[in-house]
Amino acid sequence: MAKRSKLDAKKTREDLIGAAMRQFEQQGYADTSINDICKDVGITKGALFHHFPTKRDLFLEVWTRLQVAMDTEARAAAIEARRLTDPYSAFLAGCGVYLKFATRRDYQKIVLIDGPAILGLQGWYESDHDLGTQNVEAGIRYLAKKGIVEESRVSALAVMIQSALNGAGFALARHQSDVTPDAIYDAFEAMVKGLR
């Protein structure tokens, strides 16, 4: 068998992540077997376990990729909006990006559904993993600094607003007749507007 150089190894690793990303999204973590992923990439289990010590670690890598993608996009949107408009609108812009990700199938299945079950209760918060929480909390803390919301409510509001956006994402993905993007935006603005 032809052995490969480090450059090819990097490509193999990316192929594994890509295949895992697709299968985790389509079939879920539990119904995706390591053999299936290997067959998709065209290698054997030995190679997979050379790159990732466990199935969970492969999932964690996929999970992190999605979180980072959401994080960078939300940061960019918030910074951009903060320059053009008021801080309150900048916060809404960041929430809009998060809401967009929360309607994506891959983000839903991997980050919002399988993530908590696979990574567990402890790993979910204690580490610096959860970029979504950090992002929302930073946005609200900025609002507090501007005097728009009360400082003492920042943490509590952060967890509730982030979760609310998650739920809204799920609802939007269902395409229920009375839960439209407009209705979500309207209700969300009404909720956070009351905080001022």
Partner DNA sequence: GTTTTTACATACCAGTGGTATGTGGTGGGT
Partner DNA sequence: ACCCACCACATACCACTGGTATGTAAAAAC
Q: From residue 59 to residue 78, what is the string marking binding to its own copies with x (rule CB under 8 A)?
A: --------------------
Stretch that binds DNA, among 3-11, 61-69, 107-115, 142-150 (CB under 7 A): 3-11
Q: Choose between 81 and 95: whose C-beta lies nearer to its own copies.
A: 95
Q: Is 36 in the site for DNA (CB under 7 A)?
A: yes
Answer for the pair 166, 111: CB distance below 8 angstroms, yes or no.
no
Amino acid (1-letter code) at residue 152? S
181: helix, strand or coil: helix
Separation CA 97–CA 92 (nearest Å) = 9
Long-range contacts of 39-45 (CB under 8 A, 24+ apart): 41/12, 41/15, 41/16, 43/12, 43/16
For the record, the structure tokens of 107 come out as 């983000």
* DSSP, res 109: I
Write out the binding residues for DNA, residues 69-128 only, by CB under 7 A: none
Residue matched to tokens 């269902």: 174
Q: Choose between 1 and 190: whose C-beta lies nearer to DNA.
A: 1
What residue ranges bind DNA (CB under 7 A)? 1-9, 12-13, 32-36, 42-47, 49-51, 53-56
What residue ranges bind its own copies (CB under 8 A)? 28-30, 108-109, 112-114, 116-118, 120-121, 125, 152-157, 159-168, 170-171, 174, 176, 178-179, 183-184, 186-188, 190-195
